[in-house]
Each structure stands twice: as C-alpha cells, then as structure tokens.
Structure 1
Amino acid sequence: MAGVGLFSTLPTTLTAAPFRSFQLPRSLPEAQGVSSAGLLNFVNAVEDAKLNLHSLMVVRHGKVVAEGWWAPYAPALKHTLYSLSKSFTSSAIGMAVAEKKLTVEDKVVSFFPQDVPTTVSPNLAAMRVKDLLMMATGHDKDSTGSLRADPDNNWVKAFLAQPVEHEPGTFFVYNSGATYMLSAIIQKVTGQKLLDYLKPRLFDPLGIEGADWETDPNGIATGGWGLRVRTEDIAKFGQLYLQKGMWNGKRLLSEAWIEDATKFQIQSKGGSRPKEENDWLQGYGYQFWRCRNGAYRGDGAYGQYCIVMPKEDTVVAITSETSDMQAILDHVWKHILPGIQQTAITARPSAALKQKLTSLALPLPTGQPTSPTAARVSGKPFQIADNSLNIKRVSLAFQNGSCVCTLQDDKGEHRVVCGLGRWVEGDTDLSTIPLKLVATAVPNETKTRIAASGAWSDENTFTMTWRFIETAHYENVICRFTGDDLQLEFQKSLAVLTHSKDNRPVLSGKLLATASQGK
C-alpha cells in the first residue's frame, strides 16, 4: 500500500490507528503558497537518482501539504531514526534544564562519581554537558565502538575511561557516545529512562504513540540512535521547533533553548564539497546541524531527516535508505525551496502530484511468479551443510500466490511469507535485531515487522526480498536450485547500497532423501 497524497485521509485499513486523533491538519499545497510542480519535481528527481526514499511529508504554516510512502512502507509504521534520535535526546536535556535538574555547564564527571577512572585527566574533568551537546567532548574519535565493546557492559564507565586528547569545547568530532551520555545523565538526574521522561513532556502532547528506543545492556536508552517513530511524528517534532517550543498554546521547550540548540555553536566537519555547497560544513548546535539557506536539521544515517526552514515556515520529514545524504538535501533546495511563496498560489494543484504521491512504491523483485522448478521443490526440505549462521534446514512452499519460506536454525523454526508479485506483510522472529547499522535491541521486542516478496529471475533461481519495514533496511535471499542441490545466498541492503560483498557465507543444501524419493 502506498501512502496518502495531497490532503486525503488515511486509508480505511488504518482508521483504527490511535495516532489518527493527533494528525496535523491537511491542506492543498497552493493554498499554503507551495508549488505542486516543485514537489512533483522533487519526488521525480529522488526517484530518478535512486535515492530510495521510504516516506516524505512537507508541512507549511503548520499544515501538511504533501505526504507519501513508498510501499511497502506506510503511514502507521514506525521507522528507525538512527542519529535523528539525537535531536530528541537534546530536547530532553532542554526540558531537564528548564526543570532545574541540571545546567549545560555542569561537569560530566559530577554525575557519575562511581564510574570515573582512578586518575581523572584535566580534559575529562573539564568536560561539560554543553560539550556533549555540541560534539566537542575533546575525543579524537567517536567513542561508540569502545562503549559497545566494553567487556563489563558498563557504557558510562567505558566512556569516562576514553582518553580526552583535546580541550573540551574546542574540537568537533561526531560522537554518538556523547549523546548516549546525555541519555545516561537524564536517567541519573530524573530517575526515569529517557523514553519515560519524554513521554508526558514531548510525546503525549505531540500525539506520538508507540515510540520505542534501543537500550544498552543495562537498560539505558542509547540516546544517539535507536528511536523509532512515524514520519508524521518527525514532522510534528520539527513543527514544535518551528513554533519555538509552543504546542497547542502550551510551552514544551523554552524559546531560549531552541535558539541555542539550533544555532551555530561549533564548526562541524564532513563531506568533500566546498563549504558553500556542503550541508555538513554549516556548523553544529546542540545535536542539530545547521544547513544552507538558513535552515537547520536533525538527521540520521541513510537519510532520515527533520529539516526545519524558519524563513519559509516549512518542515520537511523524510525517511530513506540512501548512501548519498547530501543529494537528498540538494534536491530539497533545488526543487522544494524555490516553490515556496509568501502568499497562496492561484494556480490549481497538480493532479499529477496527487496521482504520484498515492502510487509510490519500491521495486518488487524482478522475474516471473512461477517456474517448473517451483512444483518440484515446493514444501520439500533441504538439509544445509554446517555453516557459521547455524542454519540447519530450509524449505519453500509455493501456494495461493505466495511462498512460505521456513528456515530452521539453532534458535528454532522461523517462517517468512512472501507474496509473488506483491508484498505480504507480517511479523517474524527470524531476527529480533534485524539489519541495522548498530545492533542494539529494543527492550522486550521478540518479533520484527517484515514485508516480503519473491520472483523467479530464471527457471532455477528464486529471489526473495525481505524488507524490515520499521527499519531502513532489507535483505535479498537468493535460492539457486540445481537438481537436488540448493545454494542459498544472502545480500543485505547495506552491501547492495555500497556495492560491497556481504560477509556471510553462501550456504549449500541437499534435498533430504525422503523428499527426493517422493519427487
């Protein structure tokens, strides 16, 4: 199912979703001074460039003027935010500052006396909350890897044990470990986990339902990544910042905090372009990036965006899986920004835009829905040779326009139902930590949402695409049949995206004797 279009309501299949009551108002683009042609050009451009968008929402004057989801992604689905999570963590610090739980000048070591190293260096002693916020901890490199590798699973202690090579506040290094420490500080000073702290202060007022956050081994929210919310939730978060912290007549964040969080605090690094063409060299605030054109943004790996344009009174929310994050921003500046006018536009809205936004879809696996091989192997188990993935047995059952893939490993039996020429959505326990850049778990999550489809690319090759639709990523599973033999190859989307090799082995299987005799 593709997403909704210009101003239509949600599909009837989603009317029971509780977040409907908290929707932003809808409007035609031209009524809010936004060119339909510019929006359509943006969508066409990102598709032509194969930037793999999953969703788009554009808000002008507080009203949604365009929205779309590339099937099988859909309005009611949460999406992993990666580092866009950081901007939410920063907001929690702003709220705690307003409640006088801490100040940005407080020293980091003061919150964790039991975890400081035996010898505290002058630079570590000088590190402030503000330095965590502006990615200026003084570290030479991102500390996240060291935290996750800590044998004692004490990420706070591991962070404080890292050498601090530079004077805090003077040296920018993008450091997700710093944001994790902000989460740990929130938990320390409020007695609540980050998600619980934000729920009544941010999520409930904005109508953000069902948000979840990955945690460290001790239950502290990762802070710098791991939040999942819906696309409209991203847009509402940006709108809150555009409204300088006010929401429905109530102040959620101080205007001074929003000013400090979104202004230039330190010179950032990143990208290879000259500064005037590079949205990673416009400066960094408190877990927000400055942009060209007077805008600012929260963003996350592979193209998760909350772009706020104060001069234009506009918010753009995007989820995707792209290897070229600058390209998406380039298209926003090239196509959407010039089409924003100060007053309503008299031209009629583009019917082509509405049609486009209501028919967005990611490509299905290419090929035929059936093959003579399907009948020969359907439902018959293949014994898999010993392998590092501990996969023991695989079978594919073709029936009623679908394929049921059953995979047995050391954790049990798992099923994925694939549509033939269509997506079939469901839940799977095949992996409770589906393909992600950082493999941290969501508390109590035992299954993951999946949409799957398959096709015969030739008579003996069946390819499945498994999209983990609450993440940015997918998996291609290629099954090659030769006589009684099966070759099983996995391709994670991150390898496809970077034109690199998946490091997992190609598996070999043999049709079980009893199944072979019955063919």
Structure 2
Amino acid sequence: MQNQRFDVSGIFLGAIMLVSICSAAAYAQDAVESAWPTKQWPISTPEEQGMDSAALARLVEFGASRSFDSLLIVRHGKIVLDAYYAPYAADIPHITNSATKAVIGTLTAIALKDGLLDSADRRMLDFFADRSVANVEERKKSITVQSLLDMTSGIEWEEPLSGRPVSTIAMELSPDWIKFILDRQMSNAPGDIFNYNSGNSHLLSAILTKLTGLSASDYAKARLFGPLGISTWNWRRDPQGISTGGYGLALLPRDMAKIGYLYLRHGKWEGKPLLPQGWIEKTSEASVNMNSKREPELRYSNFFWALPKKQVYMAVGYHCQVIMVFPKLDIVAVTTARDFCPFSKMADDISGAVKSQTALPPDPAGTNLLAGVIHEISTEKPTEVGATPEIASFISGKTYKFLGNALNVRSLSLTLTGPNPHYELEINNRDPARPPLRFTGPIGLDGLFRKSDPTASGVLAAKGRWLDGQTFVLERRTLGADAPLLKWTLRFDGGTLNLRGSDRRGLEVSITGESGD
C-alpha cells in the first residue's frame, strides 16, 4: 500500500485525473457495449486494442505444442486473435467437457433471475420429493443448490482433477443417473470441503428441468443461447433425456467467447440483465479452495474456476477447453485442445500481451509474424504416401469381423479403390446391453485428412497410406473432440486382418479379424 501524502494540490490534481480516467473509461465502455456480437463478432488488429501481435504469435506457437484446436482472444468487444489448428476448423462445434458445468451454472442464475428458483439456499432434496432416495441423513438433507454449485455438496464421489473419474464412469453405466447420484452416501457435511463431482451439476440439470419443464438445452435455447445469438450446438442427454450437466455440450469457439463476454459485461447482453445482481461478483471472487497441488491458488464458485491473484476466472473443461475472463483487462480468451494446459502460464502470457489500455501504433513486422504463424498452424501438411498395391482391390469392400478384444473393435470394412475411398467401423459399446457404435467416413489417400459430415460426436477425419504390399496405416481423428489421434496398422493376409493399435491405457495390442470370404 502506498504512503498517503496530505498535499492539497496533489489531491486536487489527483481528483482531476480520476475524473478524466473515469470519464474515458465510461466512454470506452459505452463504445464497447454499443456493438454487441449477437450476430457476429467485430474484428480488430491486436495493436488497435492495445495488444502486441508478436506476443500473440508466441502464444499461438505455444498452442501448437499443447495440441490446441483453437485459440481466440477478444478485447474491448472485438476479436484480435482467431486461430484454428488444422485439420480442425472454425465451423465445427467443439466438445467443451466440464466447461458445460459453467453453462449449467449460468442457467441456474437465469432461473433465479426469472423467479423460477426462489433461492440458491433451497435444499436439493426438495426437488426430488417424488423419488425414494437411499442413505438419507441430516447431512444429505442439508445439501443446497449453492453447495452443488460450489462442489461442496459432501456427496461421496471419486473424480479427481487428474486421474480416473471412477464415480462418473459408474454413473454412465447406470440406467438412471439421477438415482445413482441421489443414492450415494455422504462423505462430508455440505460446505465443508471441495470435492470435484460431475454428479452435482447433473442434479442441477435435472432441477432446471423440474423448474422450467424444459431440458437444460431447450431452456438455454430460450433464455441464453437465443439472446446471445448462439444457434449451433450439440448436447448429450442421459437415459431419461436430461441434458448432461457435467459435460457433453459442444459449442463453436466464437460462441464459447459469447458466454465469457456475458460475464465480462456483468451479466448483461445488449444492455439487458440476464443474470441476477451479485452473481458475477460471487463467481469472479471465488473463495472455495480447490486444494490443487499443481496450482494452489485455484479457487471455485458457481462452477467457475478462479486465479484471484492473476485477476482471472474461467470455465474449465478436461484437456483445456477453457473460457477465460479478465475483468481488469477487458479480455475474453477461449481455447479448445486435446491435451492439458497450464492455466497460470496462459493467464500470464495473455496478460503480458497487453501493452496499453488504448491503441498502439501499427506494427507491420508483428502483424506479418502473427499472420505467418496463423497460416502455418491452420494449413494441413501432407504426410508421405506409398504406392497402391494390388491387394487394395482384393480387400476393398470386405468386412472383417473381430471377436471380443481390448480395442472393442467389432467389424471393419475399407474401400481403398475407386473415386470415394472410405471406411465403415463398428465399436462395441462399453455397456454390452447397448448397441455397437457405428462410424463411417471418407479416407484421404494423398496424405491429407478427409472429413465426414458432422455427427453428434464431432466431424470424423481419416487418412491412410500403404507401407508395403500388405500393410496399410489408418489414422483417424474426431475433430471437435479432445480424443487423441487413433493410429492403426493393418496387415492383410488373404481373408485375415491383423490390426495393431493402442488401447485406452496406451498399451499396444494386436487383434485378428476374419472376412469370412
């Protein structure tokens, strides 16, 4: 804290400066809010918004080292960086994983604003009086909506921030997710400790449906996505049709930025309040200690993470699906990726790219550097391909069937000749009572991925190459998902196919299929 000086002239001069700064800030705020991105985002150069192009170029390069799919930065209401890493593209919805929770929290806030939810202190079990709930005790009775929002419900749950989400997997395999969550035993009293739990947010999705008569997806369409101009999304549902509360929402990166911009603008959109008074303050000033060993400063509230010392809070999904809000810098940043990322470093790098509150002089060298880096990461580089052997015609169109195996492959058919090379794949469901998953799509044989039509899980991209007269390498990615590249080595020998690939644990396994011809 600076020493106070009782100098009348200094106080008078300081007052004049304060009025000038406040007036300029108010003018800038009015200018920003006069152009809302409901229909489309305004575009600007980084320098026009006081940011350094060369610093942003380094950030884009960092994203390439962390398997980013996109990196977007908005300052003063205008996009200053919009980068997409090939073969991902701007028009493909990206799964947001646990950033879905922040949307559920936002819908809960809207329900409060709409008067549908009377209080965040309302007890959770009040909404499930029609159910017979196991392991009811005083601690479970005292769970509130707010303790769900803060991950302090006390429900016994194993879903560490880094590690196997044991309870979530068990929930996925259960026929009734809400029953699975409600029947859990209690490990702590509500409010005592933070424990990450996707069941909390799924309960809130069910509560929203009880309050509104709509799924969370449909309520979002009416009261959140609609007003913000978001028209493209996918949202998974549980076996009872409830929108998944903990994950499963896919959005375009530019629409993810709109969610952050709503928070940056204090819960208002086009000048109209969508969120209740005090919601943004509680979210941005999160105080629940997440007990993170990697980033001990992390705090939590209303399904948002926060780094208070860095003056940033964020919606966070597994493998760096992130919406960062920097209130002091008037910035929203969005990343989608297929790997983990260091939040503190990213916050520092984004903050460090800010050089001024007002426009900087043009920087041709920095502008060219940034444009070159974006072109580099957005342009797919072809891999080498081998000559097509005679066996390609023999195996094309044949269906190879597999018995139970570590890769869960049920059948595979490749068509590698003719004008439309493609594959058809069946994967056994983790739940044997459910039908197998079917995938089909084109295959690029020129070293470049070919993309399928959009599916509920994303856009499927595949390419392949021949290693020799009998061996074909197939590479597949689901664009818009955080799944890693799937690489299979296929060796054909008459009616037999030997397939080598990595299982869920990353261990290489070999399985054998027969064509039956």
- Output the TM-score relative to the length of structure 1: 0.81
User: Residues 453-494 of structure 1, C-alpha deviation per residue, up to 9 Å, x if partnerless?
Assistant: 2223455432222222232225524243254342123447x6
Q: Which residue of 299, 302, 309 corresponds with 1:286?
A: 302
Residue equivalent to 1:83: 98
Q: What are the equivalent positions in structure 2 for 1:58-207 lying under 5 Å apart?
A: 58-102=73-117, 103-117=119-133, 120-142=136-158, 143-150=167-174, 153-207=175-229
CA contact (8 A) 1:29 1:66 kept: yes
Give the corresponding residue for 1:403: 421
Which deviates further from its counterpart, 112-121 or 130-139? 112-121
Which of 425, 428, 451 is the matching residue for 1:425? 451
Q: Which residue of 1 aligns with 2:479?
A: 469
1:342: Cα distance to partner?
1.7
Moved more, 363-372 or 27-36: 363-372
Q: Tell me which structure has the larger Cα radius of gyration.
A: 2
Shift in Å, 1:325: 2.5
CA displacement, residues 321-352 of structure 1 (integer Å, 9 cap, x when unaligned): 00x332xx344234322120222111425212
Match of 1:339 among 328, 350, 353: 353
- Cα displacement string for residues 35-90 of structure 1 (whole angstroms, at most 9, x for unaligned residues): 1011001111232xx31000111000010001011122111110111000011100
Shift of 1:507: 2.8
Shift of residue 403, structure 1, vs aligned partner:
3.2
Is contact 1:475–1:490 with CA below 8 Å preserved after alignment? no
Q: How far off is 1:144 after superposition?
A: 3.0
**Hey, what's the Cα distance between the residues in 1 that align with 2:421 and 2:126?**
57
Amino acid at match of 2:155: H
How many angstroms apart in 2 are the aligned matches of 1:428 and 1:242? 31
Q: Which residue of 2 aligns with 1:455?
A: 465
Residue 91 of structure 1 aligns to which amino acid in structure 2?
T
In structure 2, how many angstroms separate the alpha carbons of the residues matched to 1:359 and 1:374? 37
- Please list the CA deviations of residues 297-339 of structure 1 after superposition, one character each: whole Å capped at 9, or x if unmatched: 10101110001111111111010000x332xx34423432212
Give the conservation status (yes or no) of the 8 Å contact 2:286–2:299.
Answer: yes
What per-residue deviation string (whole Å, max 9, x for no partner) do you get for residues 196-250 of structure 1?
Answer: 1111211011111122211110011111111111000011111110010111122
RMSD: 2.8
Distance 1:353 1:135, change over 3 A: same
SS at match of 1:38: helix
Deviates more, 1:410-419 or 1:113-122: 410-419
Q: 2:63 aligns with which of 31, 34, 46?
A: 46
Corresponding residue for residue 10 of structure 1: none
d(CA) in 1 for partners of 2:68, 2:82: 12
CA offset at residue 117 of structure 1? Answer: 2.5
Select between 338-347 and 312-321 the one with higher mean Cα deviation.
Answer: 338-347
Q: Report the Cα distance in structure 2 between the residues aligned to 1:466 and 1:57, rounded to whole angstroms.
A: 26
Distance 1:251 1:397 in 2: 56
CA shift in 2, pair 1:260/1:351, >3 Å = same
Return closer, same or farther for 1:390/1:424 CA change in 2, 3 Å cut-off: closer
| Aligned partner of 2:51 among 31, 34, 45 | 34
**8 Å Cα contact 1:365/1:463 also seen in 2:** no
> Aligned equivalents of 1:357 and 1:125: distance in 2?
53
Q: Partners of 2:290 and 2:379 in 1: how far apart?
A: 34
Q: Which residue of 1 aligns with 2:28?
A: none
Partner of 2:510: 506
Question: Per-residue displacement from partner, 1:9-50 (whole Å, max 9, x unpaired)?
Answer: xxxxxxxxxxx9721110011000011011001111232xx3
TM-aligned CA deviation for residue 148 of structure 1: 2.9
The answer as to whether partners of 1:60 and 1:313 remain within 8 angstroms in 2 is yes
The separation in 2 between residues aligned to 1:476 and 1:398, in whole angstroms, is 22
Shift in Å at residue 145 of structure 1? 4.0
Question: Contact (CA 8 Å) 2:466, 2:472: kept in 1 or not?
Answer: yes
Amino acid in structure 1 at the alignment position of 2:321:
Q
What is the match of residue 391 of structure 1? 410
Could you tell me which amino acid in structure 2 is paired with residue 424 of structure 1? R
Alpha carbons of 1:457 and 1:311: their partners in 2 closer, same or farther (altered >3 Å)? farther
User: Could you tell me whether the CA contact under 8 Å between 1:377 and 1:396 is conserved in 2?
Assistant: no
C-alpha separation between the residues in 1 aligned to 2:97 and 2:240? 20
In 2, distance between residues paired with 1:194 and 1:487?
A: 45
Letter of the 1:286 partner, please give it.
N
* Alignment correspondent of 1:516: none
Between stretches 114-123 and 187-196, larger displacement belongs to: 114-123
The Cα offsets for residues 155-207 of structure 1, whole Å up to 9 and x where unpaired, read as: 22322211112110111100110000111111111111111111121101111
Distance 1:486 1:428, change over 3 A: farther
| CA displacement at 1:355 relative to structure 2 | 2.5
Q: Give the CA deviation at 1:404.
A: 2.2
CA distance 1:474–1:369, change in 2 (3 Å): farther
Distance 2:139 2:116 in 1: 24
CA-to-partner distance for each residue in 1:125-167, whole Å, 9 max, x for gaps?
11111000000001342453453343xx332232221111211
- Once the two structures are overlaid, the 10-residue window that deviates more, 258-267 or 82-91, is 258-267
Unpaired runs of at least 5, structure 1: 1-19, 435-447, 514-519
- Secondary structure in structure 1 of the residue aligned to 2:479: coil
Which segments of 5 or more consecutive residues in structure 2 lack a partner in the other structure?
1-36, 159-166, 428-434
Distance 1:29 1:117, change over 3 A: same
Deviations 1:237-267 (A, max 9, x none): 1111001011112221134111122322311
Structure 2 vs 1, CA of residues 454 and 268 (structure 1 numbering), >3 Å: closer, same or farther?
A: same
Letter in 1 for 2:357: Q
CA distance in 2, matches of 1:405, 1:148: 28
Flag the 1:308–1:231 CA change in 2: closer, same or farther, 3 A: same
Count of aligned positions: 457
**Residue of 248, 255, 279 corresponding to 1:233:** 255
Contact 2:38–2:227, Cα closer than 8 Å, also in 1 = no
Tell me the residue number matched to 1:295: 312
Structure 1: how far apart are the matches of 2:242 and 2:228? 23
